[in-house]
Amino acid sequence: DVKVTQSSRYLVKRTGEKVFLECVQDMDHENMFWYRQDPGLGLRLIYFSYDVKMKEKGDIPEGYSVSREKKERFSLILESASTNQTSMYLCASSFGEDSGANVLTFGAGSRLTVL
């Protein structure tokens, strides 16, 4: 069974803390993505990566950074957490070909609360 695993399902952090969200996929996918999901809004893309050590900004990169040192692992970093970053964070991966029914496989999500 193919998997995208997010290491933490629930986190509670304080304002100003540095937060790491880890995502690992076992499907040898080239592409990896970080989204945030908030009530009443569509998924919003934070960052994505098409290859190891490559990263691209999505629609809402401010306040976030990412790291992709290995193909299977994509980390989201909040350098200094703020309350408006309280959200559900979803990691996803897909094969490299950016056409056709190239579907995303999602992790179960990490719900982050910043106090």
1 near other proteins (CB under 8 A): no
Tally Cβ neighbours within 10 Å of residue 109. 19
74, with CB counted inside 10 A (0-12, 13-18, 19+), is buried
Q: How far is the CB of 16 from other proteins (least distance, A)?
A: 28
Q: Which stretch binds other proteins (CB under 8 A): 15-23, 60-68, 79-87, 100-108?
A: 100-108
Among residues 32, 76, 90, 114, which is the contact residue for other proteins, using CB under 8 A? Answer: 90
* Contact residues for other proteins, defined by CB under 8 A: 4, 40-45, 90, 98-101, 103-109
